[in-house]
Amino acid sequence: NAGVTQTPKFRILKIGQSMTLQCTQDMNHNYMYWYRQDPGMGLKLIYYSVGAGITDKGEVPNGYNVSRSTTEDFPLRLELAAPSQTSVYFCASSPGQGNSPLHFGNGTRLTVT
């Protein structure tokens, strides 16, 4: 059982470039989330989705976009990368909102130079 899978594991971008971070889950969870983790800080919510076709902004959505065309996939798009987007990005899923454990992927470490 793969759980939550994120690709790539590492990526270096130049300022102004764009990329998509991939996230897929095989647990048939309705809820999916994108977080970023900066050193010494807790995880900050970027975007979340409560089901296919439905997405909403979290605490720090600026500079990012998401889509949810299927239950399994929840890609995160970075347009015009900036050094402030250097971070570790985590995708997570859960069967319900708040009353179920969150399942995390292993993260994508992104550096923007």
Partner 1 sequence: KQEVTQIPAALSVPEGENLVLNCSFTDSAIYNLQWFRQDPGKGLTSLLLIQSSQREQTSGRLNASLDKSSGRSTLYIAASQPGDSATYLCAAYNYGQNFVFGPGTRLSVLP
Tokens of 50: 């409560």
Binding status of residue 48 toward partner 1 by CB under 8 A: yes
Q: How far is the CB of 41 from partner 1 (least distance, A)?
A: 6
Of 45, 52, 60, 82, the one binding partner 1 by CB under 8 A:
45
88 beta partners: 37, 109
Q: Does 105 bind partner 1 (CB under 8 A)?
A: yes
Q: What number of chain residues touch partner 1 (CB under 8 A)?
A: 23
User: Residue 71 to residues 29, 43, 89, 100: CA-CA distances in angstroms?
Assistant: 7, 23, 20, 17
Both tokens assigned to 89:
């990005």
Site residues for partner 1 per CB under 8 A:
4, 33, 35, 40-45, 48, 58, 90, 92, 98-107
